[in-house]
A = this chain, B = another copy of it.
């Protein structure tokens, strides 16, 4: 019956108890058809009685693969990544893979360690959302060594031959900004983790596989403004570190410094929390005095007042696409890497309205 020892019943024990050889027992247990039904039944029954559990480690040793996919992301409690993780998990599970996941907390050193450890554990493939701005040599080495690799959300410029899956950030910004322009806004502020850098941001073709999402979103804003014939004013671009508190401060600053701004586009889900809070505390009425577009659709977007208009990423699709591309790469190492830029979607709610629109007369 149940055994208490640790590394307990092996296939040899089963074979002995069933009165067959190790190899026959193996064949019976893996459902090979090179065994007589009689012996198979016997072996299977004996195995169950003994509480035999096949040792996947030993099997991997021989087959050379682990049926395991690694995922390395900065933070699994971040809504975007946890949602992506969930859809990655489901997709690969349907193909018989498990998920080895590592959180880097934004530390380049931890990312290197994670990639190292996971590749030591011989994952069959790896999905990585690299730490922004960090060195990516370890990823290049990994890709060069033939490990299937898919980049998620953030590119690694120097790593070639690797698939990349992300929302189309330029288009996402265009959705937000065009919506605001369409409402009549002319002075539109932006809360961004990226620094305004004219050379990159105003480039004719900013490349999603070369720049981080925040940069692309800022570039999209610049493009949309420019295309509409509006002036991009540096003082309308509020830089914020990656935290809700920093975004709160940045938004407050933007409101104080540039009173002519009538709309704000906030380019990240974490930042949106702080931006919304800042607007609430500012004394401005939203959307009468200021319109706000957030990023990513949250549970709370329809719960706050005014309900928050957002640019929503297809988070599920991003996860599924990354997983499927990785599975393809595992099955066929020679396949061409692809860049998947998935479309964002504008969800219009109540936080955006024409400038100066006032249902309640201003005080």
How far does the Cβ of A162 sit from chain B's closest Cβ, in whole Å?
Answer: 15
Q: In the complex, what distance in Å separates the CA atom of A29 from the CA atom of B57?
A: 22
| In the complex, A252 has a CB within 8 A of chain B | no
| In the complex, A117 has a CB within 8 A of chain B | yes
Q: In the complex, what distance in Å separates the CA atom of A100 from the CA atom of B101?
A: 6
Contact of A3 among B3, B79, B110, B145 (CB under 8 A): B145
Contact of A89 among B8, B64, B102 (CB under 8 A): B102
Point out the residues of chain B lying under 8 angstroms from A66, CB to CB.
Answer: 57, 121
Cβ contacts A129-156/B at 8 Å (1 or 0 each) = 0000000000001001110000000000
Q: How many residues of A contact B (CB 8 A)?
A: 61
User: Contact at A85–B90, with CB atoms within 8 Å?
Assistant: no
| In the complex, A280 has a CB within 8 A of chain B | yes
Cβ contacts A92-124/B at 8 Å (1 or 0 each) = 010000111111010000100000011111100
How far does the Cβ of A252 sit from chain B's closest Cβ, in whole Å?
Answer: 15
Q: Which of A53, A244, A276, A277 has the most CB of B within 10 A?
A: A53
Q: In the complex, what distance in Å separates the CA atom of A110 from the CA atom of B89?
A: 12
| In the complex, A302 has a CB within 8 A of chain B | yes
Point out the residues of chain B lying under 8 angstroms from A89, CB to CB.
Answer: 76, 101-103
Q: In the complex, what distance in Å separates the CA atom of A64 from the CA atom of B55?
A: 10
User: Contact at A56–B304, with CB atoms within 8 Å?
Assistant: no
| In the complex, A240 has a CB within 8 A of chain B | no
User: Contact at A57–B121, with CB atoms within 8 Å?
Assistant: yes
In chain A, positions 1-54 with a C-beta closer than 8 Å to chain B are 2-8, 51, 53-54
Q: In the complex, what distance in Å separates the CA atom of A83 from the CA atom of B102?
A: 14
User: Contact at A303–B300, with CB atoms within 8 Å?
Assistant: yes
Cβ contacts A56-83/B at 8 Å (1 or 0 each) = 1110110010101000000111010011
| In the complex, A305 has a CB within 8 A of chain B | yes
Select from chain B the residue with minimum beta-carbon distance to A59.
Answer: B120
Given contacts A53-B145, A146-B6, contact A99 B98 (CB under 8 A): no
Point out the residues of chain B lying under 8 angstroms from A83, CB to CB.
Answer: 77
User: Contact at B122–A55, with CB atoms within 8 Å?
Assistant: yes
Point out the residues of chain B lying under 8 angstroms from A79, CB to CB.
Answer: 77
| In the complex, A299 has a CB within 8 A of chain B | yes
User: Contact at B64–A61, with CB atoms within 8 Å?
Assistant: no
| In the complex, A298 has a CB within 8 A of chain B | yes
- Could you list 10 A-B pairs, sorted by A, with CB under 8 Å? A3-B146, A5-B146, A53-B120, A82-B85, A86-B103, A99-B101, A280-B303, A299-B300, A300-B300, A303-B303
> What are the nearest 7 A-B pairs in CB distance?
A300-B300, A82-B82, A77-B86, A56-B120, A2-B144, A56-B121, A77-B83
Extra A-B contacts (19), CB below 8 Å, given A57-B121, A244-B299, A273-B303: A2-B144, A4-B146, A6-B64, A56-B117, A56-B122, A68-B121, A76-B76, A76-B85, A76-B89, A77-B79, A77-B85, A86-B103, A98-B102, A98-B117, A99-B102, A101-B101, A273-B300, A299-B300, A305-B305
